[in-house]
Amino acid sequence: VAAAWGLGGPLVPPAPLSLAEAAVGTLVVERWVSDPTERFEVAPPQITCATAIRAPRGLQDALRHEWWHDGARVDVVDLDVRGGREEGFRTWSTKRNLGPRPQGRWRCRVVTAAGQVVGQIRFEIAG
């Protein structure tokens, strides 16, 4: 069947990953954002996107955080995830260069190496 589809290899369904929790803020304490928000009144010097990913025990996979601003992808950060923690494996990335005009709608998407979107969190920078 794989050859008929032109894939050249066995068909293996992707491991079930899900976004257990996500937060954005400016500080990380004990592996999580300590000041979560959905709106920044002024642009901070940096923003951290923290995500908890549920994955099967023993799974180790590559993920990435894609940072989007007003519909355009502006940054990609490669991450690793290891499965087994019921609350989800915690990981984060920090966006330090927000650009000359950071105001607008932002999102941090969690994407597998194969391009599957696991989840996302949206936030806004007002001024």
User: For domain 18-125, is the CATH number 3.40.440.10?
Assistant: no
Q: How many C-alpha atoms does 41 have within 13 Å on its Cβ side? A: 0
21-25, 83-87, 106-110, 121-125: which has the minimum mean pLDDT? 83-87
The structural domains of the chain, with segments of one domain joined by +, span: 18-125
Residues 96-117 have a mean pLDDT of 95
Query: Is residue 46 scored above 70 in pLDDT?
Result: yes
Residue 82, classified by CB atoms within 10 Å of its CB into exposed (0-12), middle (13-18) or buried (19+), is middle
Q: What is the pLDDT of residue 9?
A: 45
42: which DSSP letter? S
Taking the C-alpha atoms of residue 42 and residue 51, their distance in angstroms, rounded to an integer, is 23
